[in-house]
Structure 1
């Protein structure tokens, strides 16, 4: 579980996060949404540990970020899986080498054990026998699945995803959404996802946090977002005519 308490973060004179509090639970897909400039990326990077908050705290299963020792931080890094927006695979390395990278960095396992783990996660993301391929030989969706495999190879407690559907066609995006949700539920991972994809919000939004101007403006589930009268959320989520019709149909059925 991740508990965020009164989080503040800025850069020079610009205040980006202005007192955000939220709780993210294991086995739950939590989505962070909001307009560009709302603070989503800074918030996610703060959760990952890439930014140090100026005020407030983040607790990872009771461990306070600001009180972590160097050894605590090293342990925490081993418990984190990250799926980057552009997959961030090493072009010069094979699929197998990309996925094995965290194992080589953080463990002293024999090569045979690392390979077993690589093959296990490749099977889990439905990419068996892709070990020797290079990223350039894979489709965008396959690259994203390799990125997910790399993110879970260390069996993380926490999974962070930055726009995991960026650049993907709608059908492939659904596959990635379902995969992330299945893995979250299967391994009871605390998963936090930054997204602009409203299909993701509706399909896997077990918890949704809406940020506006660096503050938490709304929080709820994918079902509750249909019913909310929060003007900022309605204007953001239902800006398209399609979603307006979906919301109207949902409310008429209540």
Structure 2
């Protein structure tokens, strides 16, 4: 679980995060949404420890990050997995080598132990015949699955995803959403996803935090978002034609 209390972050005179407080629970897919410039990327990078807030506290399983020693922060970082927007695979490494990379970096496992783990996670993301392929030899959707396999190779307690569906067709995006959701529930991971994809909101948004101009304007589930009268939320989510249709269906069913 991650708890955020009164988080503030500025760059020069630009006040990006303005007192954001929320909780991200384990075993749930937690989504951060908002327009460009809302602060969601800065928020995600603050959770990762890449940015240091001027005010506020981030707790990881009730332990404040600001009070951790250097060794404790290193240990925490080893419990984090990250799926980057562009997958961020090493072009010169095979799929197997990409997935094995964090195991070589952060563990003392033997070669056979690492190989067993790589085989397991690649099978878990339905990539059983891609070990020796280079990223350029597989599709964008397969690259995302490799990125997920690499992110969970070291059995993380926290999984962070930055626009995981970026550049994917709608059908493949749903596959990636479902895979992240399944893995989150299966391994009881605290998963935080930065996204603008309204399909993701509807499919896997168990907890949604909506940011606007650095403020937390709203939070709730994908079911509750259809009921809100918050103008900032409705202006954002109902700009999607899909959401308009689903909203109308919800109103008709309620009536």
* TM band (smaller chain): over 0.9
Deviation at 1:108, TM superposition (A): 1.0
TM-score of the two chains, using structure 2 as the length reference: 0.98
Aligned equivalents of 1:86, 1:100: Cα separation in 2: 19
> How far is 1:252 from its partner?
1.9
Q: Secondary structure at the match of 1:222?
A: coil
Deviation of 1:240 (Å): 3.0
3-state SS of paired residue (2:223)? helix
The residue number in structure 1 matching 2:182 is 182
1:232 aligned onto 2:232: yes
Give distance in 1, aligned partners of 2:15 and 2:147: 32
Contact 1:163–1:195 at 8 Å: present in 2 too? yes
Provide the rounded CA distance (Å) in 2 between the counterparts of 1:218 and 1:240.
Answer: 18
State yes or no: 1:133 paired with 2:133: yes
Q: C-alpha displacement at 1:248, in angstroms?
A: 1.6
Deviation at 1:244, TM superposition (A): 1.5
| Structure-to-structure mapping, 1:45-60, within 5 angstroms | 45-60=45-60
On the 8 A contact 1:10/1:54 being kept in 2, the answer is yes
TM (normalized to structure 1)? 0.99
- Report the secondary structure of 1:9's partner residue: strand
Aligned length: 254
CA apart distance, 1:62: 1.3
Residue in structure 1 matched with residue 95 of structure 2 by the alignment: 95
Shift of 1:4: 0.3
8 Å Cα contact 2:3/2:60 also seen in 1: yes
Task: Give me the whole-angstrom Cα distance separating, in 2, the residues matched to 1:224 and 1:180.
Answer: 21
Q: Is the 8 A contact 1:141 1:168 kept in 2?
A: yes
Any unmatched runs of 5+ in structure 2? none
Q: Please tell me whether residue 248 in structure 1 is matched to residue 241 in structure 2.
A: no
2:24 alignment counterpart = 24
1:162-199 deviation digits (Å, cap 9, x = unpaired): 00000000000000000000000000000000001000
Whether contact under 8 Å (1:165, 1:176) holds in the other structure is yes
After the TM superposition, which residues 43-192 of structure 1 pair with which residues of structure 2 at under 5 Å, given as runs?
43-192=43-192
Alignment check: 8 A CA contact 1:227 1:251 kept: no
Q: Which moved more, 1:181-190 or 1:237-246?
A: 237-246
